[in-house]
Structure 1
Amino acid sequence: MNLSSHKPAQPSDHSRPSPYRWVVLIACWASFTLTSIDRSTWGPASVFVGESLAMPLAGLGAFATAYYIGYVVSNALGGLGVDRYGGRILLTISLLGAGLGMTAFGSTTSATAGIALQALVGLFAGADYSAGIRLITSWFPAASLGLPLGLFTTATSLGTAIANTVVPALIARYSWHTSYHVFGVISIVLAALLFFLVRPGPMLDTADSGDDRPGRRLDLGGLARNRNLVLTCLTGFCGFWGLYGFITWANALMIKGHGVSPATAGLIVSVFAVTAIAVKPVVGFVTDRFFGGARKTPTIAILAVFGVTLVCFGELGDSNALIWLAPLLGAAAYGWTPLVVALVPRLVPPSVTGSASGIANATWQLGSVVVPVVVGAVFSATGSFSAAFLTLAAGPFTGCLIMLAVTDRPTSTATRHKDATPAGGNAHGSAARVPR
């Protein structure tokens, strides 16, 4: 297929928005949902994988950590690949690689090979986010990005809900191997379809077919000196500690720590995740409407509720009570995420919004890397369901304290252009435009 046929339209073409932009949004959302399912399949399958590969419970955290190491690396570098090769190419490679890794993991009989394959799946899946952002922002004007990006980010929670609903059923009827094979094949098929379906839009600064912007250099030192950005990165790290620590360990902890059936454990995590589909856009709307776009105070409040509900969840022993608490836990666990995502662009110049967002997301994901091993070690040492959830709750509680030190106000224009415009670039760089 001739890639030159996928050059974006000229600016004059977007006076009348094309309905095709919604096709691109749906395609990016579907891809992001599938990579989220690939990531979340481990939770309900972990106990069965451990039994099959003769791995102790504490050792299961190594699989999740391996995945998130690859995922963090991919998040950090994905934006560079997207800028050079285009969103369509990276979207296809991301989903195809993740699907092949999932299929191979479903056939593994070795713990060592399984850990390596989890890292490989994460390495491919992480590029999906920045590819989707670039494609969506190429079709929707900056003033109208709130709705499409809000819908796009529901993919993470929906993927968790689907995995925790479908995977236990597949395991009960077939085996854990089947669950990985099914979603691996679906990912491969969708990757092939998206390659031919998706094309970049008219709002890119450069062609999305691989043309690079010459002379652009990221001022990492300027970003590192941005105190509020660093504190926001640390806050997200702490929040993700609780969020993905719960997603990774909740099933195994409920099954092993409380004797909850795999199906019920999957239901609880599904309810937890489904809540976020409505919560994310609602939180964004409320903070824009009633807080004037400020993110600091609502972030602190939601993280505090998240920590408290994790502690309460760890003290409950009845499965019905766990189901009833799951919606509140899900709302708090996911509700803070759109706030810190929207806060980052307020803290940096427009020319480095994309780079700052990518670095922030990679830092946040480090919480996902560390927490599985720590929680596994705590539960192995204590055998306590409560102690494991206190360990998870330490993340959002610490995030509250860090966010107190953040100054939630837009960077001044003078500071933006003096301190953070990349060398060789301009003040209107091609970074992804995120609505404030």
Structure 2
Amino acid sequence: MSLTPEPVVVRHPYRWVVLALAWAAFTMTAVDRSTWGPASVAVGEHLGVSLAGLGAFATGYYVGYVLSNAAGGVLTDWLGPRVVVGCSLFLAGGFMILFGETDSVATGIAFQAGVGVFAGCDYSAGVKLISQWFPPAHRGFAMGVFMTATSLGTVIANAVVPSLIAASGWRASYHVFGAVSMAVAVVCLVLLRGAGGAHVASAPRKVPDLRPLARNRDLWLLGLAGFGALWGTYGFITWSNALMIKGGHLTPVQAGAVVAIFGVTAVAAKPFMGVVSDLFGGRRKVPAVIVLAAFVVTLLVFGTRDSLSGFLWVAPFLGVAAYVYSPLMIALIPELAGVRLAGSAAGATNAFWQLGSTVVPVVLGAVFQATQSFFWAFATLAAGPLLGMILLLGVREHRAGDRVPAVTAIAG
């Protein structure tokens, strides 16, 4: 636990504008990331890549994403979240457009890594903004709204990309979403403000001291628990379309519909879970452990389905379990690390979390190639949240109210 006092945050109406802009930026990076799932088979056929080889593209993205999460958190605390959100999203959109032009496997993997490098910064910047503008007692709801971006990105990509591919080819989806990402980035650069107005802007900027984070046992456990949780979530996002097409004999449009339903349920469930945790005194750990246990069960059940109707019945429950742990775990970060290092702590923990996203595409492709078993692919996914649940039990949760406050008003 950080010894830095928790600032008292004055609730200003502009916080809703900040939350909306942070959410919009995070939604676009989630759309950019999720585009690969429904587009992967078409890209693989165009470039002559095997099913197992498709995992290399997703891994390329997540390698860049992990690196930028670690660096992006420090940049957020150093340069401020407005600059980080706007510039990183603009460049991520540019690499999306470049990927839509590729005809080479090596170049395509490099462009995917480029998207990941710049898409990984806005998460920590968003967490920092919410930590600055929302008091601890209301962060569960704000984090829940913010984290709807990841599931909504999955919904948008799976609802739009299959139709775009059918009408105009796979390149169109990367061109369209890349351009929209760049437009949202410009809006964020113009309208976003950090906490404190001119007071914060005039303060000297310096590289944050990260030593308290390195000594924080609970942050280490939270980072490792998130590794397992995101192993399951992004392993599903990356591979579920291809597995249902190849292993479940669904059409691309049917598989996209299943994953869209998977994402839709989480859009409503995340803010609800955040509100529930706020109402029960800001406790996050125990609900997160329960959700991860449900995630393990629903992944195993999904792996036993063999028809469109079976997938459709399980998808809503799987969508809730695969996503609602995230606002709970993320709301723990500023409570364990303090607001002043919230960006660095968010980036560092998410770098650990995203290592699961980096490794799982290749591992899952190898498992399915070796076993040709739909169930064993999903059992491999379920191992991640099981590990995360066990590790999360070791985190010592602290109430925000246990801190000694140091008043830091937020100016309009």
What TM-score does the superposition give when structure 2 sets the normalisation length?
Answer: 0.89
Is the Cα–Cα contact under 8 Å of residues 241 and 395 in structure 1 kept in the other structure?
yes
Q: Which residue of 2 aligns with 1:276?
A: 266
* Alpha-carbon spacing, 1:224–1:200, altered in 2? closer, same or farther (3 Å): closer
C-alpha separation in 1, matches of 2:392 and 2:198: 34
* CA displacement at 1:349 relative to structure 2: 4.9
* Alpha-carbon spacing, 1:232–1:146, altered in 2? closer, same or farther (3 Å): closer
* CA displacement at 1:197 relative to structure 2: 3.2
Q: Which of 199, 204, 213 lines up with 2:205 in the alignment?
A: 213
SS of residue matched to 2:247? helix
Taking the TM superposition and a 5 Å limit, the aligned residue runs for 1:417-436 are none
User: Which amino acid is 1:310 matched to?
Assistant: L
Is the Cα–Cα contact under 8 Å of residues 245 and 368 in structure 1 kept in the other structure?
yes
Does residue 37 of structure 2 align to residue 48 of structure 1? Answer: no
Q: Which of 389, 395, 401 lines up with 1:400 in the alignment?
A: 389
Taking the TM superposition and a 5 Å limit, the aligned residue runs for 1:30-429 are 30-140=24-134, 144-202=138-196, 206-207=200-201, 212-214=204-206, 216-219=208-211, 222-290=212-280, 292-349=281-338, 351-410=340-399
Runs of at least 4 residues off by over 6 Å? 427-430
* CA displacement at 1:201 relative to structure 2: 4.5
* CA displacement at 1:84 relative to structure 2: 3.2
* Alpha-carbon spacing, 1:204–1:354, altered in 2? closer, same or farther (3 Å): farther
* CA displacement at 1:32 relative to structure 2: 1.2
SS of residue matched to 1:124? helix
C-alpha separation in 2, matches of 1:204 and 1:250: 47
Whose relative contact order is higher, 1 or 2, with alpha carbons under 8 Å and at least 6 apart? 2
User: Which amino acid is 2:63 matched to?
Assistant: I
User: Which amino acid is 2:125 matched to?
Assistant: A
* Alpha-carbon spacing, 1:429–1:165, altered in 2? closer, same or farther (3 Å): farther
Is the Cα–Cα contact under 8 Å of residues 124 and 346 in structure 2 kept in the other structure?
no
After TM superposition, the structure 1 stretch with the greater mean CA deviation from structure 2, 161-170 or 78-87, is: 78-87
C-alpha separation in 2, matches of 1:34 and 1:169: 19
User: Which amino acid is 1:177 matched to?
Assistant: R
User: Which amino acid is 1:53 matched to?
Assistant: L
Q: Which residue of 2 aligns with 1:17?
A: 12
1:273-324 Cα shifts (integer Å, max 9, x gaps): 111111112222223334x433332222211111111011111101111011
Is the Cα–Cα contact under 8 Å of residues 62 and 358 in structure 2 kept in the other structure?
yes
Root-mean-square deviation (CA), in Å? 2.7
SS of residue matched to 1:329? helix
SS of residue matched to 1:258? coil
What TM-score does the superposition give when structure 1 sets the normalisation length?
Answer: 0.85
SS of residue matched to 1:315? coil
* CA displacement at 1:268 relative to structure 2: 0.7
1:394-413 Cα shifts (integer Å, max 9, x gaps): 11112222223333345997
C-alpha separation in 1, matches of 2:138 and 2:398: 22
C-alpha separation in 2, matches of 1:140 and 1:68: 30
Is the Cα–Cα contact under 8 Å of residues 65 and 117 in structure 2 kept in the other structure?
yes
C-alpha separation in 1, matches of 2:199 and 2:138: 18
C-alpha separation in 1, matches of 2:206 and 2:333: 26
C-alpha separation in 2, matches of 1:317 and 1:261: 13
* Alpha-carbon spacing, 1:79–1:230, altered in 2? closer, same or farther (3 Å): closer
* CA displacement at 1:199 relative to structure 2: 3.5
* CA displacement at 1:429 relative to structure 2: 11
* CA displacement at 1:181 relative to structure 2: 0.8
C-alpha separation in 2, matches of 1:287 and 1:138: 19
* Alpha-carbon spacing, 1:319–1:238, altered in 2? closer, same or farther (3 Å): same
* CA displacement at 1:351 relative to structure 2: 4.7
Is the Cα–Cα contact under 8 Å of residues 67 and 119 in structure 1 kept in the other structure?
yes
C-alpha separation in 2, matches of 1:346 and 1:197: 28
| Count of equivalent residues | 401
SS of residue matched to 2:201? coil
Q: Which residue of 2 aligns with 1:8?
A: none
Q: Of the two, which has the highest radius of gyration?
A: 1
Is the Cα–Cα contact under 8 Å of residues 208 and 341 in structure 2 kept in the other structure?
no
* CA displacement at 1:48 relative to structure 2: 0.7
* Alpha-carbon spacing, 1:79–1:152, altered in 2? closer, same or farther (3 Å): same
User: Which amino acid is 1:98 matched to?
Assistant: A
C-alpha separation in 2, matches of 1:35 and 1:15: 30
1:228-256 Cα shifts (integer Å, max 9, x gaps): 32222111110000000000000000001
Structure 1: gaps (5+ residues): 1-13, 418-426
C-alpha separation in 1, matches of 2:108 and 2:28: 20
